[in-house]
Structure 1
Amino acid sequence: MQGKGVSLGGRFAVLLLVVATCLHAPEVSAAQGEGASALAALTIDAMDNEQHILRGGFPVDAGVVRLELYDGAVLLGEALLEEGRWSIPWEPGEGSEFLEAVASLETGEELRTRLDFQHLRFTSPEGLYAAEALLVLPTAPGTSTHYTLDGTAPGPSSPVYTGPLVLLNRQGQPAPLSLIPTNPPESPEAWRWRAPTAPPVLATVVRLQRFSGATPVGPGAARTYLIGQPAYSLPVLSLVTDAENFFGHDRGIYVPGRIHEEFPEWPDYWGTGNYMQDGKAWERPVHVEWFEAAGTPVLAQNAGVRIHGSGSAALPQKSLRLYAKADYGPEWFQANFFPDHSSRGFKRLLVRTAGQDQLTTKLKDCVLPGLLRQTRLALQACRPTVVFLNGEYWGLHELRELHDEYSLASHYGLIRKNVVILEGHGLLDTGEPEDVVPYAELLAYVREHDLSVLEHYEHVEARIDVGNFIDYHIAQIYFGNADWPDNNVKYWRYRGGGNTAVAGEGDGRWRWLLYDLDSSFAGGAEVNSLGRLLHDGRLGEPFVVLFRGLMKSPWFRARFIARFHWHLDNTFAPERVLAAVDAAAERLAPEMPEHIARWRYPRSEAAWQWELQNLRDIIQRRPAALRRFLQREGLDSP
């Protein structure tokens, strides 16, 4: 299977060809001469596996009087002809190699087309990409194997497997999920759901479950195949679940649904909807498959899924959170998702849509944290990914590591139950109720003591990782993060350590977590995020009291100044940041036309390129602006 080029027309050109020819070009006899092009629509293009009916098309103006089908050399019979379509009963055997359709014309000439089959077994670790295929499902004595092809979990009344399933390219078939609005029609026009401009690419999802009578035997399973499609340039994540779990009025997590119907008022900018709900009650079962860019299967397991995010959940395309749990299957996602990452086991994963940046560049939140790899900040691993939902193309996402007690314990070799995470102004995220006390006491101490006194500064230094705190704040200031510091703030400590400044993340000091950078550079190159952090009275006091208190300490201040200038000269040197952005844009470029056609955000490829150029301009000018702000605050001397 050939990969795609970077040109805008790559996959769309293929899609147009698929629609025009239904995948299979006929073998045209020499006697057809110049009329061959007009007769090029004899196809074998659809199979009803439940009813065992094979279908195809023929040119209505070709004068077809009879159409015969052959399974290899064996004549199946004469097909039923009707308005440019033909059909015939057929049950393939495991030994079937190819089909041939032969249409006899009024002129005495013939049209022929042939379809060769790849042979697949459900139990084999087959790749994502395949030619037209016959798929063999597993069976066992005393049980019946039931299957579905629409993402629904098989039940006792689902079709019973009796022989190989015929898998053909699905282009042109309905894609009902893509036509479901995912936010209310009264949503602001700037981020209102819009119908796709082109039919989405469709994969084939096969789910199976064995039964003894009406009793399930063993766990269910699913496999995804992209039949007759060019390979994507990125990894592919296939999610399979009953459509009701995502789109049902009462329990669907991806739609406005019942919650918006009951509370239609807009209490804030983002409104209401099922997708704003959180917690175990809004977790749904899902089957997860992950394929590398070449289509190599890496992982297949059952898991749980919830909507991820707050305001961004109201946007048309939504971020998801995946949970590995014994309730569903394996307790961990064990796979090499991130080649440069030390961990191979993950309890939770994010499938993120770039947050609000899905409307603009769609890359900031995946690229910008990577600039800080040389620091000791805990960063989320991230890979751009193409997602399919129940076989429908669902657009570009980012597979990401989640900042939680599992990832922190794994990174630093800690005991998970001793990891404490707080958020905002000191609210408990992970831990015990009493775990909020040390941070509250720290802020109280800063309020009550002058940190220009060495003893007072050392008291605080023993309780926070000052280097981590400085790198974190410099990064947020450089990024000009408009959704910080009074939002998207998390910090953590290891409860098993003491309050002494011993080396290592297990020393009990507070450290900060960098995440959700989709609002970076929202104010442009000249936004004075440093002055805002130091002086803006509209920011909640608990979010800034620690930084402002520490800036009174000459020891902290000198360290902060030196580190800031070092970052501007190195970490945030324009050529370095531009190289990272350009590399990310190059990775996304082959897939953006298809994504834009599906979600309509960014509004066009031209709009996406404009946003990228605007980001490049900001990156070029940002260090000079920050140096002026540092000088204005008397922080210009390292």
Structure 2
Amino acid sequence: MNSRIQALLLISIYSLFNIASLKADTTAQASLEKNPTTPNEVIFSQPSGFYKEDFTLTLSHPDNNITIYYTLDGSEPDPNNLKGSTYRYKNNYEQPPNKPKDNFLYHRYKTYQYSQPILIKDRTNEPDRISQISTTFDEKPDYFPQKNQGSNNTNRIIKGTPVRAIAVNEAGVKSPMITHTFFIGSQEEFHLPIIALTVPEKDLFGYDEGIFVVGRDYDEWLATEPEQLKPSRASSTPANWHRKDKVATRKNAAMEQLNLNQESPNLDVKISIHGNGSRMNRDKSFRIYLGRYQSLAHFVPNGSSLKELRFNFKVGKRKTNNFITFITDTAAQRIIAGLSFGTQNSYGYRNIFLNGEYYGIRNIQDVKDTRYIHHFYHLNHRKKIELLFNRSNNEIPNNEYHLPILKGSFQEWRKINQAFEQKENQNINFAQKYIDINSFIDYYIAEIYLANRDWLDNNYAFWKYSGKNRENNPIADGRYRWLIYDLDATFRESNTNSLEKTTDINDRQYLFTFIFSTLLKNPEFKERFITRFSDLMNTTFVPDRMVRVIENMKQEVEKDVLLHIKRWKSPISIEAWQDNINIMVNFARERPAIQYQQLQDFFKLDDTYQLKVAINDQAAGTVKVNTLQLGLKDNELTKPVAASSAAILMEQVLAFPWQGRYFKELPLKLEAIPKLGYQFSHWQGEGFTQEQAINPILALQPKSNIKLVAMFEKVNYVQ
């Protein structure tokens, strides 16, 4: 081969190699563009929290070829919003029969390209922003805090700085967004833990999209010349907060808890408005939705176990803004925890900051849904849980009363009610095929005793598990059990006769009163109901225990209540708040005598007698009285199958010597239960025979006061 041919061959091979390399490079670039690598997150020089003085915050990234964008107003960083945008809102809404006006106000939100450190300073004395936006359909809202006029203004709204940042690479791919909130001052000024929420303002307060305002939906309704609604139907007024689209009404939010001298957790979550009629309140309750694998670790004690659940952040609803305690629902739930139904746990109160601005006190609480049931009852398949509940119908904006809205499949429940119309089925044996009788009785007793004024045709819930019970879990036997929730309307009027209400069979309440009122005519069920009611009034509902729970809850929030009042003017003063707490305490002390009288009148019972029970040796044994086991500590109590939580603060009301009040001539059952190393000897007292005295089980029908002492003795083991 001559040199010329050899050279041409080498050139050809080299060209083919270059073409192949170029093609490979082009293919790789196309692949990169098709599947670009997501940049790492932006690095903040300081973590969220409180700082003693102003400082500069540095944002950085390991890749020098990326661009960092950030915001300071809660909006999500957007490279296309460097010039800023606005959203519209309203502070004054016309009332029927007037037509809506175009009296819009505007707020600006903007993204910045990072080029130098950001000055973090105390923003408290800057103009208020969120607190100057109407969250009601008032023509002239009267709850805005006074505008700041100086550092000594006691009505100042405390503010921090929310910083949200993303990194964008040369291909335009964005990193995950990081949010941190910074305050200048001392966290020790607050007594409750702090949660900082960061949400684009327009998602909550915008006229067009905001879910915390009446907004466009109200004005569109107003333009149709509607009739003016009565106060009792005001919650039916159309508003943005009534929107049903779950996708549109669940907004993206960042949630941080600023733990003093500890790790501050940070989650990207969803937020929506919470409540039914309470949505029209000025200070909204809201709901947080955890995502997959997310938990409340570092937010609450044992929070790592609370995975993929939903939580309400509640203020507490009320008919007027004057009656608010923050603690009514929570105190009621804690008092009845450990009874045979599901209760909503409280995970503590928090001071909430929204986009760095103080937003008030909220209580973190379980959400009543199938996730809650699946989690607390350890069931295998969430989709096999059938949850049924009702709520008041506020979807029709007129002055007529409407049947409650039913959620869940009521078809089987209707058939059970229809079967109960047959006399041969009106007994416990038939009922317990379909319902957990203990759960049924405890649930009605709790609602009746606490005098819930917002119940039966609203806030009534029960459930069952329809899956296979492969592990012989008693909760998965396919029977209905009850859940109690929304007890804000309890503890009001101690003379309320809720028992009469539960036997009122009308169209609005038929599905929730017929079986109960029918069973009350059955002697066995009636006796069981009265006995259990008496047992609970002698323990769970003892006034001193109830007051102790109320006082504990009061102490938890009272040091920060004034902050909430200054933000919302609700309640109207710290004195008004204390008055509301006193109403609860008075209810707890007055209710027993009234409830005994109502039971006596309703069932035409005889008078009551005092039962006193003691034992000769605290270490030797316990005594069971009807459904109660005395002498136990909280951690020794057996949690009922249908209970979601254990009882608390029961030790004192179960302690020996013990006394209770019961109705004369109704059966009374006692059982002496020896502990290991002891045996029952005999009963001391009057009202029983000598033969009965040596039997550990006593069945009596006392007609007068009775005092009993269970005598135990050590077992002498034969060597």
Whether TM exceeds 0.5 here: the answer is yes
TM-score relative to the length of structure 1: 0.74
* Partner Cα distance (2:302, 2:61) in 1: 40
Alignment of 1:598-609 (within 5 A): 598-609=567-578
CA positional deviation for 1:604: 0.7
Structure 2 partner of 1:560:
529
Matched residue type, 1:520: T
1:332 and 1:583 map into 2 onto residues whose CA distance is 30
Counterpart check, 1:509 vs 2:479: yes
Q: Does the 8 A contact of 1:128 with 1:296 survive in 2? A: no
User: Paired residue for 1:474, among 432, 445, 459?
Assistant: 445
Q: Which residue of 1 aligns with 2:175?
A: 218
Contact 1:380 1:400 in 2 (8 A): yes
Q: Residue deviations 1:227-271, cap 9 Å, x none?
A: 213432112221111111011111110111001101134552222
Unmatched 5+ stretches in structure 1: 1-119
* 1:149 equivalenced with 2:72 (yes/no): yes
Kindly indicate whether the alpha-carbon contact (under 8 Å) linking 1:181 and 1:255 is maintained by their aligned counterparts in 2. yes
AA aligned opposite 2:251: P
Q: CA deviation at 1:596?
A: 0.3
Q: Give 3-state SS (helix, strand or coil) of 1:218's partner.
A: coil
Tell whether the 8 Å contact from 2:49 to 2:183 is kept in structure 1 after alignment: no
Secondary structure, counterpart of 2:113 in structure 1: coil
Larger mean Cα displacement after TM superposition, 333-342 or 250-259? 333-342
TM-superposed CA distance for 1:313, in Å, is 0.0
1:615 CA drift (Å): 1.6
Give the deviation of 1:583 after TM superposition.
1.1
SS of 1:134's partner is: strand
Cα displacement (A) at 1:429? 3.7
Name 2:349's counterpart in structure 1: 384
Q: Which moved more, 1:262-271 or 1:145-154?
A: 262-271
Counting matched residue pairs gives 501
2:374 is the counterpart of 1:397: no
Mapped to 2, the partners of 1:439 and 1:121 lie a distance apart of: 56
Note the alpha carbon deviations across 1:191-235, whole angstroms, 9 max, x for none: x65111422110211100111258342211211122213432112
Distance 1:159 1:237, change over 3 A: same
What whole-Å deviation, never above 9, does each CA across 1:87-132 have from its counterpart, x for those lacking one? xxxxxxxxxxxxxxxxxxxxxxxxxxxxxxxxx9727755456643
Q: Does 1:289 align with 2:255?
A: yes
Cα 1:464–1:342, aligned 2, differ >3 Å: closer, same or farther?
Answer: farther
Deviations 1:514-562 (A, max 9, x none): 111111133x111111122124758522221121122122222222111
Matched-pair contact (CA < 8 Å) for 1:290–1:297? no
Change (3 A) 1:536 1:458: closer
Q: Verify the 8 A CA contact 2:311 2:364 in the aligned structure 1.
A: yes
Name the residue aligned to 2:515: 546
State the SS of the aligned residue for 1:512. strand
> Cα RMSD over matched residues?
2.6
Q: Deviations over 1:584-612 (max 9, x none)?
A: 11111111111001001101111111111
Q: What secondary structure, in the 3-state scheme, does the structure 2 residue paired with 1:171 have?
A: coil
Taking structure 2 as the reference length, the TM-score comes to: 0.66
The structural deviation recorded for 1:452 is: 4.9
1:174 correspondence with 2:127: yes
Given candidates 384, 406, 419, the residue that maps to 1:445 is 419
Cα–Cα, structure 1 residues 247 and 371, in superposed 2: closer, same or farther, change >3 Å? Answer: same
Amino acid at match of 1:531: E
* Other structure's SS at 1:395 match: strand
Q: 1:154 to 1:452 in 2, by over 3 A?
A: closer
Name which of 165, 170, 195 aligns with 1:208: 165
Aligned to 1:410: 375
For 2:461 and 2:221, locate their aligned partners in 1 and report how far apart those are by CA, in whole Å: 30
Change (3 A) 1:170 1:295: farther
Q: Quick one: structure 1 residues 124 and 491, their matched pair in 2 at CA, closer, same or farther if it must change by over 3 Å?
A: farther
Identical positions, percent:
28
Q: Which runs of 5+ in 2 are unaligned?
A: 1-41, 83-110, 147-154, 391-402, 606-662, 668-719
Q: Deviations 1:328-350 (Å, cap 9, x if unpaired)?
A: xx553342544377933142121
Displacement, 1:574? 0.6
* Counterpart code for 2:364: L
Query: Which residue number corresponds to residue 273 of structure 2?
Result: 307
Please point out which of 216, 230, 239 is paired with 1:258: 216
What letter matches 2:598 in structure 1? F
Instruction: Find the aligned partners of 1:295 and 1:274 in 2 and give their Cα distance.
Output: 40
Paired residues of 1:127 and 1:296 also in contact (CA < 8 A): no
Q: Distance in 2 between matches of 1:566 and 1:346?
A: 38
Secondary structure in structure 2 of the residue aligned to 1:225:
strand
By how many angstroms is 1:324 displaced? Answer: 2.7
Q: Secondary structure, in 3 states, of the residue corresponding to 1:215?
A: coil
Name the CA distance, whole Å, in 2 between partners of 1:310 and 1:591. 27
**Kindly tell me: are residues 495 and 194 of structure 1, through their superposed partners in 2, closer, same or farther at Cα, counting changes over 3 Å?**
same
Is residue 67–residue 167 contact of structure 2 (8 Å, CA) maintained in 1? yes
1:343 aligned onto 2:294: no
Q: By how many angstroms is 1:408 displaced?
A: 0.9
Q: CA distance change for structure 1 residues 354 and 123 in 2, over 3 Å: closer, same or farther?
A: farther
Deviations 1:410-455 (A, max 9, x none): 111111111111112997645xxxx4332222111112334555xx
Q: How far apart, in 2, do the equivalents of 1:340 and 1:620 lie?
A: 34
The question of whether the paired residues in 1 share the 8 Å contact of 2:298 and 2:304 is answered with no
Q: Which amino acid aligns with 2:374?
A: A
Please state whether the residue corresponding to 1:217 is helix, strand or coil.
Answer: coil
SS at match of 1:590: helix
Cross-structure match for 1:631? 600
CA offset at residue 308 of structure 1?
A: 1.1
- Which residue of the other structure, out of 175, 194, 197, is the alignment partner of 1:239? 197
Give 1:569's aligned amino acid.
N
Q: 1:312 to 1:125 in 2, by over 3 A?
A: same
Secondary structure, in 3 states, of the residue corresponding to 1:333? coil
Secondary structure at 2:349 match in 1: strand
Which residue number in structure 1 is paired with residue 633 of structure 2?
none
Is the Cα–Cα contact under 8 Å of residues 289 and 310 in structure 2 kept in the other structure? yes
Correspondence 1:585 to 2:554: yes
1:137 corresponds in structure 2 to: 59
Tell me whether 1:436 sits opposite 2:389 in the alignment: no
Q: Are the aligned partners of 1:233 and 1:293 in contact in 2 as well (CA < 8 Å)?
A: no
SS at match of 1:146: strand
In structure 2, do the counterparts of structure 1 residues 418 and 396 end up closer, same or farther at CA, with 3 Å as the change threshold? same
Deviation at 1:389, TM superposition (A): 0.9
Shift of 1:318: 0.9
Aligned partners of 1:618 and 1:515: how far apart in 2?
Answer: 20
Q: Distance in 1 between matches of 2:304 and 2:199?
A: 31
The Cα offsets for residues 351-380 of structure 1, whole Å up to 9 and x where unpaired, read as 112122764222101111111222242221
Match of 2:145 among 184, 196, 205: 196
- Distance in 2 (CA, whole Å) between partners of 1:387 and 1:295 is 19
What is the rounded CA distance, in whole Å, between the counterparts of 2:411 and 2:507 in structure 1? 25
